[in-house]
Amino acid sequence: MITPPTTSVPMSPQTFDVESLRGEFPILNVLVHGHRLVYLDNAATSQKPRAVIRSEEEYYRTMNANVHRGVHTLSEKATARYEESRESIRKYIGAGSAKEIVFVRGTTEAINLVAATYGKMHVGKGDHVVISGMEHHSNIVPWQMLCGETGALLRVIPLNDRGEVILSEYEKILDGPVKLVAISHISNALGTVNPIREMIASAHRRGIPVLVDGAQAMQHGPVDVRELECDFYAFSGHKMFGPTGIGILFGREALLETMPPYQGGGDMIKSVTFEKTIYNDLPHKFEAGTPNIAGAVALGTATEWLSGLDWTAIGLYEQNLLQYATDALSDMPGVRIIGTAERKAGIVSFVMNDIHPHDIGTILDRDGVAIRTGHHCAQPVMMRYGVPATARASFALYNTASEVDALIAALGRVREVMGI
Amino acid sequence: MTSGAESLYQDIILDHNRSPRNFRVLDGAHRIVEAYNPLCGDHYTIYLKLDGEIISDIAFQGSGCAISKSSASVMSTVVKGKTREEAEALFTAFHHLVTEGADAGEDLDQYGKLAAFSGVSEFPARVKCAILAWHTMKSALHSDAKTVSTE
Ligand SMILES: Cc1ncc(COP(=O)(O)O)c(C=O)c1O
């Protein structure tokens, strides 16, 4: 066991019992190179609670059939379960109607869907599409492709040295011929929580719709799309304790209604002749082909599981843990934290001396500590801060201060192994 | 307490990482090839001078992890002055060592300095780092390819 006893853990008294919550995640007992797993790569994907694992299994054991097709009992059950899950998700994010909840593969597909449909309809030569300097490649490349095809211009909101968008620059950019703003809620590479409410309001004052990449936000607490007043909100199940291969595009009904379908096929039609196809109603118009039914069901379960948690207590707990990790890393000789925004989620990107992050990652892994190293699919961010790559520890609600201590101890070993 | 990471980061590797040999631009090089691993951003340029069949000089520049950099450095020292054929034989031996590991009962000494990389095979995610410069050297011998990518 590498976990040293902790003495100075400044955790405030909580109603939130992290140990019992950890018990719901079977994978946290896995041994890695003889050490109990210290999983600090939650921004890449989160682990799954038993409820979610069971839900997927139960679906396959008791009701597997195709949806929206058969009249037989199982198909009816599967369809009902699939639609119930959509309803759970609708409720969880505060959408007005289940028509606004489109099942997709994940954030990436959700953004591509909007670029390929809404984008192609509304963005033309000379128009601007706005993103920020901290976006994940999946919120850059689809817009670049769209701009390439239409002759539009991609504008990028610059970042300050702490890793925050410069709002005065944003305001200036919005005064151009902007047709859409696409911005992350929380940056996966820097941990910055963007002031998206204000940013959305600014865009709306000029009649510009906003897509929010919510991939990182959903694991840190509930999001209310009506309160944010966003036009589109994209997220992935696997980063919010749900399964891989399923995600959601929320879109305002009025916008989705006007958009052409994304893909053609079964389920997205009302009637097909060789002359003409009549598209299905929302949200099915955007769900061509047999969907990831089990994934959708288990994602619904994940939102139900999340709704049962005390997010006030967890929010405080996560902020304390982030502070503890930030302080401990700052005290570590040679460590420089990349991303020091005022408002951050539990993500700490850092470099240490001139040790390459991949060497850090390999040595940490031998101590059972899993972090991400590399450019985090955000190469422009790396360029902005003048590093080829970073090491990134990202924390979820089941991480503990003693796991932070394990990270720090293992980083000490990195220095030893690398002869520093 | 050892974590096993030491078997990867042997002294020779740390030494060549800290002070890489032949780490410069080679004026008048006959072959200049770039090596790039898009996954981790390791990026090197390798310069070769050929005198008939002989690699009369070799140098490199660039940045990346300790494994890729030390591997490029050690490679530059062992292939300098060798014939193409000898360099290719070294490539084959190195490739075997980092992908399969030394065979049971095999004498590591026969690998010379390359033996320092015998731990790599235990770290599958790092094999690409070790082999990057070698692939680049090999393609520089064969063709005028501009960039070698491990992806
Ligand atoms: C901010 C952000 N956007 C988008 C994505 C892409 O998500 P997915 O790969 O699940 O489609 C990620 C995942 O790493 C992310 O962190």
Binned at pLDDT 50, 70 and 90, residue A135 comes out as very high
* Gap between the Cα atoms of A89 and B40, Å rounded: 36
More confident residue, A13 or A32: A32
Contact between A356 and B43 (Cβ < 8 Å): no
> Residue B75 and residue B127: Cα distance in Å, rounded?
15
Mean pLDDT of A122-150: 98
* CB neighbour list of residue A21: distance below 8 Å, 6 or more residues apart: A397, A398
Q: Whose CA is nearest to atom 12 of ligand 1?
A: A215
What is the average pLDDT across A68-93?
Answer: 95
DSSP letter string, A179-240: EEEEEESB-TTT-BBP-HHHHHHHHHHTT--EEEE-TTTGGGS---HHHHT-SEEEEEGGGG
Q: What is the pLDDT of residue A14?
A: 52
Q: Where are the domains of chain A?
A: 13-41+310-417, 53-307
A390/chain B closest Cα distance in angstroms: 10
Average pLDDT, chain A: 95
Question: Contact at 8 Å (CB) between A128 and A153?
Answer: yes
Q: A92 CA to chain B: closest CA distance, Å? A: 36
Q: What is the pLDDT of residue A6?
A: 45
3-state secondary structure of A45: coil
Q: Which of A134-148, A272-286, B14-28, B34-48 has the lowest mean pLDDT?
A: B34-48
Q: Name the CATH architecture for the domain at A13-41+310-417.
A: Alpha-Beta Complex (3.90)
**Contact between chains at A418 and B14 (C-beta distance less than 8 A):** yes
Protein residue with its CA nearest to atom 14 in ligand 1: A44
Return d(Cα B10, Cα B16) in angstroms, integer. 10
Cα A204 to ligand 1 centre (Å):
25
Give B-chain residues touching A373 at CB under 8 angstroms.
40
Which atom of ligand 1 approaches the CA of A186 most closely?
1
Decide: A293 and A67 in contact? Cβ < 8 Å: yes
**Radius of gyration, CA atoms only, chain A:** 22
pLDDT value of residue B65 = 95
Residue B140 to residue B148: CA distance in whole angstroms: 9
Cα A276 to Cα A175, A191, A259, A272: the distances in Å are 41, 48, 18, 6
For B84, which DSSP code?
Answer: H
Q: What is the mean pLDDT of chain B?
A: 90
Distance of alpha carbon B80 from alpha carbon B59, whole angstroms: 9
The lowest-confidence range among A3-12, A280-289, B3-12 is: A3-12
Q: Report the residue among A41, A105, A239, A244 best suited for mutation to probe ligand 1: largest number of ligand atoms under 8 A from its CB.
A: A239
Q: Please give the average per-residue pLDDT across A355-370, as a whole number.
A: 97
A356, A367, A382: residue with CB nearest B64: A356
pLDDT number for residue A5: 43
Q: In the prediction, which pLDDT does B147 show? A: 59
% of chain A at pLDDT higher than 70: 96
The predicted-structure confidence for A211-254, as pLDDT tens digits, reads as follows 999 999 999 999 999 999 999 999 999 999 999 999 999 999 99
Ligand 1 residue neighbourhood (C-beta within 6 Å)? A 106-108, 136, 138-139, 184, 188, 213, 215-216, 236, 377
Q: B150 pLDDT exceeds 60?
A: no
- Mean per-residue pLDDT, A251-269: 95
Residue B134 in this model has a pLDDT that exceeds 60: yes
Beta carbons of A121 and A256 less than 8 angstroms apart: no
Range A53-307 has CATH code 3.40.640.10: yes
The whole-number pLDDT of residue A245 equals: 98
Does residue A274 surpass a pLDDT of 50? yes
Partner A contacted by B123 (CB < 8 A): yes
pLDDT (mean) for B57-80 = 97
pLDDT category of residue A3 using cuts at 50, 70 and 90 = very low
pLDDT confidence bin for B104, thresholds 50/70/90: confident
Measured from the Cα of A108, ligand 1's closest atom is 11
Q: How confident is the model at residue A368 (pLDDT cuts 50, 70, 90)?
A: very high
B148: confidence class by pLDDT, cuts 50, 70, 90? low
Query: With 80 as the cut, is the pLDDT of residue B126 above it?
Result: yes
* Mean pLDDT of the A158-162 span: 98
Instruction: Determine the distance in angstroms separating the CA of A246 from the nearest CA of chain B, rounded to an integer.
Output: 25
Query: CA nearest A114: which of A251, A296, A306, A313?
Result: A251
Residue A8 has pLDDT above 50, yes or no: no
**Dist. CA B97–CA B112, nearest whole Å:** 12
Confidence bin at B41 (pLDDT 50/70/90): confident
Least confident of A264-278, A288-302, B45-59: A264-278
Q: Which chain A residues are within 8 Å of B14, Cβ to Cβ?
A: 418-419
Q: DSSP 3-state assignment of B114?
A: helix
Give pLDDT tens digits for A177-189: 999 999 999 999 9
Taking the C-alpha atoms of residue A135 and residue A168, their distance in angstroms, rounded to an integer, is 18
Chain centre to alpha carbon of residue A51: 20
Strand (E) positions, A25-176? 31-32, 35-36, 38-39, 101-104, 128-132, 153-157
Task: Kindly state the DSSP code that residue A252 receives in the 8-state scheme.
Answer: -
Residue A9 has pLDDT above 50, yes or no: no
Could you give the CA distance from residue A91 to residue A325 in angstroms, rounded to a whole number? 34
Q: Domains in chain B and their CATH numbers?
A: 3-146 (3.90.1010.10)
pLDDT score of A2:
41
A176 interface with B at CB cutoff 8 Å: no
B14 touches chain A (CB under 8 A): yes
Interface contact B112, partner A, CB < 8 A: no
Whether the model clears a pTM of 0.90, i.e. scores above it, the answer is: yes
